[in-house]
Amino acid sequence: MDYKGHDMEKLFIKDLEVRGKRVMVRVDYNVPLDADGNITDDSRIRATLPTINYLLDEKAKVILASHLGRPKGKVIPGLSLRPVAKRLSRLLGKEVPLAEDCVGPEVKKFVDKMNPGDIILLENLRFHPEEEQNDPEFARELASLCEVFIQDAFGNCHRSHASMVGINRFVPVAAVGFLIKKEMEYFEKAVNNPMRPVVAIMGGAKVSDKIKIIENLARKMDKILIGGAMAFTFLKAQGYEISRSLVENSLLEEVKNVAEKARKNGVKFYLPVDFVVAEKFDPKAETKVVTFQEIPPNWYALDIGPASTRLFVEALAGARTIIWNGPMGAFEMDAFSRGTYAMVEAVTNSHALTIVGGGDTDVAFNKAGATYEVSYISTGGGAFLKLLEGGELPGIAAVTDKQAYEEKQRATVMAK
């Protein structure tokens, strides 16, 4: 498998000697917690089990490192990884102790006493400000705990932090784990080398977050369906009245160009043809369904309507690959969730390879109980989006091509 010209096969966990060695795995355990500190979705923990089980079977000494939330460099007890250690212990059927910190003499002592087949979870990396600053000393200290470094924190690979990038300079050997390999393989099948026809469904709140993606996909997809609040910037650019619906006025020219470019490339570009509109941005507000030409003055369009759903479902027929990112409406409120759930159903009923990109879209699949009916749900929101943009993931680049990455970093620093 290829990542930006680097042969990932040669940098894969299975190609390294790990038996009896201290192996640090950077995982992404940034899981959602409720007000009582309970984990509400453990899919990111489950996604790391293949790598962990492999290492335990190989009798490595497994040191897991992760961040959780945004403690901003301070110790916040509510953002301790303790609930994760507990859940992981349950999933593995083996006690996973939590270290008091992620660096320092106590951790080192603990690691030194580990036996082959032992496992430990380090405390939240972001309790140290140096993690997000990609501080070299901190990276060196982390690296000193291990003989082998495995990068498997796909969801964080768009971040150039110490445990993601900096650490690679100080570890003797590094490779990617099973999760990253799987994410990259699905991405390859969805975007770079898809079975055609390939259709992208894009939704969500802001065009500004996703314009680069649409630009990139406009070169690669056969069809692009646009839903969510994003659609209003496209409609306004064509001169339609969108009343109080969300819009990004600074992007009107840009979206017009992107849509035109897509059409010129032969990509079929779909916008919604009707909406569920409401008098207020409120779940109890009066609602009605109107065509896109008839959004009443001062009303908000908050979901795609039934005709749009039919149109989009029709456009998906015969697709052999479908990629989806972003809800079709303000789906957190029941009154504006139908468009999104109708698309969840259409995608799960399709015979295509279906790939769903993190964030709100996987929440919709979870809520609909359809998680296991798609081919793959990415564990990375921002990282998945970065890939869709055609961008590079520093967390992977630093493993697969250390030297080139370091040179680029140096050049950027010198240019500043």
Q: Which parts of this chain interact with ligand AMP (CB under 6 A)?
A: 204-206, 209, 228-229, 246, 301-302, 326-327, 329-332, 359-360
CB atoms within 10 A of CB 353: 19
Using Cβ positions, the residue closest to ligand AMP within the complex turns out to be 204
Bridge partner residues of 90 (DSSP): none
Least distance CB 276 / ligand AMP (angstroms): 9
Q: From the CB of 227, what's the least distance to ligand AMP, in Å? A: 7
Report, in Å, the least distance between residue 301 CB and ligand AMP: 6
Nearer to ligand AMP, 177 or 228 (CB): 228
Q: 108 phi and psi, to 5 degrees?
A: -60, -45
Q: Give CA–CA dist 183/1, Å, rounded.
A: 12
- Residue type at 155 in one-letter notation: G
Rank residues 38 and 208 by Cβ distance to ligand AMP and give the closer one.
208
Catalytic residue ranges: 44, 206, 359, 382
Which residue's CB is nearer to ligand AMP, number 166 or number 326? 326
Q: Quick one: 329 or 380, whose CB is closer to ligand AMP?
A: 329
Angle (CA) 361-364-370 rounded to 5° is 110
108 vs 206 by CB, closer to ligand AMP: 206
DSSP 209-276: HHHHHHHHHTTT-SEEEE-STHHHHHHHHTT---TTS---GGGHHHHHHHHHHHHHTT-EEE--SEEE
Sheet (strand 274-278) strand order: 287-291, 274-278, 300-304
Q: Can you name the residues that pair with 39 across neighbouring β-strands? A: 33
- Contacts for 392 with CB less than 8 Å, ≥ 6 apart: 4, 386
CB of 106 vs ligand AMP, minimal distance in Å:
40
Q: How far is the CB of 275 from ligand AMP (least distance, A)?
A: 8
